[in-house]
Chain A
Amino acid sequence: GIQVEQSPPDLILQEGANSTLRCNFSDSVNNLQWFHQNPWGQLINLFYIPSGTKQNGRLSATTVATERYSLLYISSSQTTDSGVYFCMNNAYSGAGSYQLTFGKGTKLSVIP
């Protein structure tokens, strides 16, 4: 099946620092999304970004579908940015079916 590799698996930042999270895909990127999982487990949709670049406040994301990767940038990090970040691709998985495939996540800890 389609593989989604996220890096780094863990990241510790000082408040105010910038960071880049990455997702690599083994197959075509169709409907890529980035999520932040809050302490209660809810997945907060950050970006729906099948291609190109989007920005929302201190966060931005870029997907280069032809090279099968996506990047999530967090600038001027805050302690509230802590949590787990997932990328997800909705892509054809064979036999006429599509699946939502997740990376294993990046656990971000922002310290004051």
Chain B
Amino acid sequence: DGGITQSPKYLFRKEGQNVTLSCEQNLNHDAMYWYRQDPGQGLRLIYYSQIVNDFQKGDIAEGYSVSREKKESFPLTVTSAQKNPTAFYLCASTPWAGGLNTEAFFGQGTRLTVV
């Protein structure tokens, strides 16, 4: 089955540690995105990538880093510089970055908690 997979589902991090959230898709999509959601809030864009080896900052990129070395993978690293990383993280992909027929697909999310 084609889809987008995030792992792990739950992640606990000690303060001061970096952690990496995985996002993999086998849909052959060009564009991938990372969102953060805080309790009772909407989704905010962290980073997005329209093509391999290229990515752009979203609205709340500070304290996060990404890479896009392969088309199917877009890992997100939450660094120790992120002051309040406890949140729900969602990854998405679209066939390409613009134009018509760009239906978005989402992973199941990773819930990160700082302990």
Footprint of B on A, CB under 8 Å? 30-31, 33, 35, 40-43, 45, 48, 50, 86, 88, 90, 92, 97-100, 102-105
A90-B42 in contact (CB<8A):
no
B48 at the interface (CB under 8 A from A): yes
Task: Provide the residues of chain B in CB contact with A105, threshold 8 Å.
Answer: 42
Measured in the bound complex, the distance between the Cα atoms of B88 and A43 in whole Å is: 12
Known: A97-B97, A98-B50. A33 touches B42 (CB 8 A): no
Stretch in B13-21, B65-73, B76-84, B99-107 touching the partner: B99-107
Whether the Cβ atoms of A99 and B100 lie closer than 8 Å is no
B60 at the interface (CB under 8 A from A): no
Q: Is B94 an interface residue (CB 8 A)?
A: yes
Asked whether B90 is an interface residue with its Cβ less than 8 Å from the other chain, the reply is yes
Let me know if B45 and A99 touch, CB within 8 A: yes
| Structural contact, A41 and B31, CB atoms closer than 8 A | no
Verify A42–B109 contact, CB threshold 8 A.
Answer: yes
Q: How far is the CA of A33 from the CA of B105 in the complex (A)?
A: 10
Smallest CB separation, A45 vs chain B (Å): 7
A102 to B90, alpha carbons, bound, how many Å?
13
* Given A48-B103, A88-B104, CB of A98 within 8 Å of CB of B31: yes
Q: Cβ of B2: which chain A residues have Cβ within 8 Å of it?
A: none
Which one of A43, A90, A98 lies within 8 Å of B106 (CB-CB)? A43
Q: What are 10 A-to-B residue pairs whose CB atoms are below 8 Å?
A: A30-B98, A30-B99, A33-B103, A41-B108, A43-B106, A90-B94, A100-B33, A100-B104, A102-B42, A104-B41
